[in-house]
């Protein structure tokens, strides 16, 4: 005597089951790749930003990078000389200074007016820097800014970076 557990119901053919499993695996892989793209490569790099093509800065190097700090307190200043080693003009520059004051990290950001930089021509700037507010500088970055419509786009990857010793 044979006992049937499922009555007259028939199962899927192995071929159809294989096709369904492959489709499920492919769709699950696509979902995982889309979710992980934000974590691994969500920030656009210089090579992905067409507006930033040909924009690359370095600090002018004459017996060391040309970054100077002078003055004290509210009447302090920061000077630098950068070289544009790229191929396209840079319409504007942004200065970022990361400092420390009373054990806290501070950030000074200034978009520099009249800072159009042509390839191969050094640019020298002297900027007011308040040591009482921002403390001693630890790192100085000069970032090229490109125009994307009416917005300014920071060209990360083309910036000049100096770490204070």
Answer whether residue 45 shows pLDDT above 60.
no
pLDDT, tens digit, for every residue of 4-22? 656 666 666 888 889 999 9
Residue 109 has a pLDDT of 92
3-state secondary structure of 125: strand
Instruction: Output the average pLDDT for the chain.
Output: 82
Neighbours of 116 (CB within 10 A): 13
Domains of the chain (ranges plus CATH)? 46-163 (2.60.40)
Decide: 123 and 117 in contact? Cβ < 8 Å: yes
pLDDT, tens digit, for every residue of 53-67? 888 888 887 776 678
pTM above 0.85, yes or no: no
Highest mean pLDDT pick, 42-56, 92-106, 107-121? 92-106
> What is the rounded average pLDDT of the residues 92-121?
88
């Amino acid at each position: 005597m044979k006992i049937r557990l499922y009555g007259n119901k028939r199962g899927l053919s192995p071929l159809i089951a294989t096709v369904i499993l492959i489709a499920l695996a492919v769709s699950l892989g696509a979902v995982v790749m889309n979710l992980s793209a934000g974590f691994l490569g969500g920030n656009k790099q210089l090579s992905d930003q067409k507006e930033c093509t040909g924009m690359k800065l370095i600090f002018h190097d004459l017996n060391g990078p040309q970054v100077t700090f002078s003055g004290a307190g509210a009447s302090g200043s920061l000077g630098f000389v950068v070289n544009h080693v790229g191929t396209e003009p840079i319409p504007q520059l942004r200065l970022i200074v990361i400092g420390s004051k009373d054990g806290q990290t501070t950030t000074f950001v200034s978009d520099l007016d009249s800072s159009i930089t042509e390839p191969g021509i050094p640019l020298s700037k002297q900027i007011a820097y308040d040591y009482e507010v921002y403390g001693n500088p630890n790192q100085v970055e000069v970032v090229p800014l490109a125009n994307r419509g009416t917005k300014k786009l920071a060209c990360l990857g083309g910036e000049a970076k100096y770490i204070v010793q």
